[in-house]
Amino acid sequence: MLTQELINQVVSAALKEDAPNGDVTSEHLIPSDATAVAELAAREPGVFSGAEVFIAAFKLTNASVQVEMKIKDGEKFEKGQLLAVVTGPARAVLTAERIGLNFVQRMCGVATLTAAYVAKVAGTKAKILDTRKTTPGLRAFERQAVVNGGGRNHRFSLSDMVMAKDNHLAVLTRGGKDLTTELKRVRAELPANIKLEVEVDRLDQITGVLAAEVDIIMLDNFSLEDLRKGVELIAGKCVVEASGGVNLETVGEIAKTGVDVISVGALTHSARALDLGLDVKIN
């Protein structure tokens, strides 16, 4: 969850990284009493995300800087649209400019890409989920952007859900152990609030996994035909997740197979920064 405390912590670190010993350019070129007005504008259309993060970049540099947001997180915007106005001491505005832009461009990029995926599955029951393929240290920021784009969050961390993939299953069944029996044992050991998800990569694995009464079955890299067959086999007994081979060209057809959710690593690991500009006028 993206809290104000986390925003302040991460943005402060970014500001420190960018100006460890102050902004020598602004300190030597800009008069100390100069003021500035900066306008954040869109150079391309998108979905907005990161308002509080953008504000924090300036407020943590100088609390007297004022940021007036002209848009809310989750709202669409067009090319040329004014998104925010920043006013205050010129040195502070210039010092925080790049950090504020870096965060908001990244978050808007994730939100905009997510919205594109969500649009592709419109009219189906499938929901678009993110994955743990996030930028280290920025997971909460990027996952908030996914939500702003209309997507949903998968498990936040390894602590939130048991997710058994092929390597886990190989260890679980070593020595000829029965998969269903071992999964039932795991299920019985888990607290009620911890879900159990199992990844399968073949149709013949589904029956044994389903018999263990798991919460979610992930159909990994299945063909469209096998996805449909998998959905029929599971028959609503648990959540069906599709993963692998998902892109903007394939996601619509995957959704039509009847799966409940589609996890898309590209939402966070392949989103490009959106083109936003911050034009500064110094008085």
Residue of 73, 97, 199, 241 with catalytic role: 199
Residue of 98, 132, 152, 187 with catalytic role: 98
If you write DSSP's letter for every residue of 205-267 in order, what string do you get?
GHHHHHTTT-SEEEEES--HHHHHHHHHHHTTSSEEEEESS--TTTHHHHHTTT-SEEE-THH
Cα separation, 224 vs 278, whole angstroms: 45
Residue of 133, 155, 195, 229 with catalytic role: 133
User: Active-site residue 177, yes or no?
Assistant: no
Kindly report the backbone phi and psi dihedral angles of residue 281, in degrees, each rounded to the nearest multiple of 5, phi listed first: -120, 125
Residue of 220, 226, 228, 229 with catalytic role: 220
Tokens 């409940």 — which residue?
260
Tokens 């924090």 — which residue?
56
User: Active-site residue 98, yes or no?
Assistant: yes
User: Active-site residue 76, yes or no?
Assistant: no
Nearest to 197 by CA among 215, 221, 184, 219: 215
Residue of 152, 155, 165, 229 with catalytic role: 165
Residue type, 8: N
Token reading at 186: 């795991």
Catalytic residue positions? Answer: 98, 133, 165, 199, 220
